[in-house]
A and B are shown apart, each in its own frame.
Chain A
Amino acid sequence: MTSISKNVQSVSASGIRKFFDIVAEMKDVISLGVGEPDFVTPWRMREACIYSLEQGRTNYTSNWGLLELRQLIAQHLQNLYKVSYTPENEILVTVGVSEALDLALRAIVDPGDEVILFEPCYVSYAPCVTFAGGVPVTVETSAETGFVPSLEAVRKAITPRTKAIMLSYPSNPTGATADRKSLQDIVNLAREADIFIISDEIYDRLTYVGEHVCVSSLEGARERTILLNGFSKAYAMTGWRIGYACAPPEVAESMMKIHQYVALCAPITAQETAIEALSAGEQSVQDMRAEYNMRRRLIVKRFNDCGLSCSEPRGAFYAFPSVKKTGLSSEEFSERLLHSKHVVVVPGNAFGASGEGYVRAAYATSFEKIEEAMQRIGEFVESLPQAVGAL
């Protein structure tokens, strides 16, 4: 019997799957494990999509994506971050940021090239590096430093084989953001080492404290940065699978080359909807952000009140409290919480070894459910014998 490639075999399936199976058999579950908005796509966008279907817009588009959409993306980035990208040859519309990430890595990574990741990070980064033939190199971060690594740690991780640094602020799972100075320092390092930066900024619009810093807008960054973004989080459009990448022409062309052969184009219906999102979706973004922000404050307060230390997540829609004081590992905590109180959180180690000791709790769920879930988590923590005295 012939076999699966060693490269693919080397990657294990996501640890989150196990929880999914347990939850499927339970009733009365409150899930803080969902990595997507609880809002459905605003009706204005869905209605625009329906209209596009009525008009028979069911064809392929340019490999790059609809020009109108690329022009709107360029305008959007210009308005928000004063970053200029040329719609014709620097913006590629993709099947979500997931595809954009894959394209970016495959466009720049040669076998054995190293890509630096800051952990804890989104579950796809390391596997995608591996699939592209590269070697993921992780730099661990912790709550104490706001989940932004020290410059020294990043410098140490750079070797002659390093091809790129992967940035992702605001972060899934930690909700951390990075300030201008820290990002500029990393950009300067990348310039010294002459390596690429891949910046996944899918949560940019969900920044609650301070400004979001678009990495491409930093001095000396644009020429070596592949900026990834999309519509899933800000516009509650996860299932539409629509994102984009912005990069200097040579990189964008190379990504387009792969995209043209593996995907041809992003679905036109999603592209039409994205046009409506950028043209008329701003108020919806503001409304949803305001709602997340209130839930964010509430959930952080509740975690700290029940003795699970939770630093303030400044972006995305995740709280990342420490469960170390309970004496349980991330997985033990999550499994026991699920079995005894029917509340789902995701163990932090699903996002890398440095996520051990934390759990990820998404507050992309209603205020009432958050209150109920936190009530149950409080009871669970109190019921732990280890907790006595430690809290």
Chain B
Amino acid sequence: MNDLHDILKILEKDGRITSSQIADMLQKPLEDVERVIAGAEASGVIRRYKAVVDWEKAGDHRVAAFIDVKVTPTRGVGFDDVAERIYNFREVVSVYLVSGEYDLRVVVEGSTMQEVANFVSQKLATVDRVQSTASHFVLKRYKEDREIFADAPPDHRLAVTP
């Protein structure tokens, strides 16, 4: 369990690190690390590996919006069935059930603001039992997945100190 936790923390930060590097960092046999990772992949603890991309910097000006959705819950299923109807759309990046004034927070991406707006008004707002939506377009990404999207400050340390 502890091994799994340590390995997951390393992979969460750097999905491209090799199993053999992980083994050295944790002082564990390579086979053990490989077995734990394979197990986590098979059981769905590790969903997939990805890069955190600064699309702005890559010149791809895609549009993202947080859509807050108010839903009438149903006996027996709560919000799950509505969430499912929503998360299956390919435009939807994330869906969370949240506390507060709204029930679902949906992250939607598209190539233009119009595209996202159309999706919200035609697809999202019309889902059964969706009472209302509030859209917040992302204007600038400062930090995502613990990654700050600004240039890292230089290392100010002296090269040799006692």
Residues of A within 8 A of B (CB): 14, 16, 19-20, 23-24, 29, 31, 33-36, 38, 40, 122-124, 172, 290, 294-295, 297-298, 301-302, 344, 346, 350, 367, 371
Contact = CB atoms under 8 A, between A and B. Distances in A.
A297 B6 CA distance: 14
21 contacts: A16-B160, A19-B159, A19-B160, A20-B159, A20-B160, A23-B160, A29-B159, A31-B159, A31-B160, A33-B160, A34-B158, A34-B160, A34-B161, A172-B162, A295-B25, A297-B25, A298-B21, A301-B27, A346-B162, A367-B25, A371-B21
Given A14-B162, A23-B160, A33-B160, 20 more contacts: A16-B160, A20-B158, A20-B159, A34-B159, A34-B160, A34-B161, A35-B162, A38-B157, A123-B162, A124-B162, A290-B9, A294-B10, A295-B25, A297-B25, A297-B26, A301-B24, A344-B159, A344-B160, A346-B160, A367-B25
A367 B155 CA distance: 15
B32 to A, nearest CB: 14
A237 to B, nearest CB: 13
Contact of B159 (A24, A40, A297): A24
Contacts of B100: none
A35 B160 CA distance: 7
Closest 8 CB pairs of A and B: A294-B25, A33-B160, A23-B159, A35-B161, A31-B159, A123-B162, A20-B160, A297-B27
A33 B161 contact: yes
Task: Kindly name the residue among B9, B153, B162 whose own CB sees the greatest number of chain A CB atoms within 10 A.
Answer: B162
A33 B159 contact: yes
Interface of B: 9-10, 14, 21, 24-27, 153, 155, 157-162
Nearest to B161: A35
A40 B157 CA distance: 10
B2 to A, nearest CB: 12
Contacts of A16: 160-162
A302 B21 CA distance: 11
Contacts of B26: 294, 297
A24 B25 CA distance: 31
Contacts of B153: 40
A287 to B, nearest CB: 10
A346 B9 CA distance: 32
A298 B161 CA distance: 22
Nearest to A294: B25
A298 B24 CA distance: 5
Contacts of B25: 294-295, 297-298, 367
A36 B162 CA distance: 8
Nearest to B17: A367
Nearest to B153: A40
Contacts of A371: 21
A36 B161 contact: yes
Nearest to B155: A38
Contacts of A19: 159-160
Nearest to B28: A297
A36 B157 contact: yes
A133 to B, nearest CB: 23
Contacts of A34: 157-161
Contacts of B21: 298, 371
A38 B157 CA distance: 8
B19 to A, nearest CB: 14
B123 to A, nearest CB: 40
B151 to A, nearest CB: 14
Nearest to A351: B162
Contacts of A123: 162
A96 B106 CA distance: 50
B115 to A, nearest CB: 37
A295 B160 CA distance: 19
Contacts of A122: 162
A31 B153 CA distance: 17
Contacts of A297: 24-27
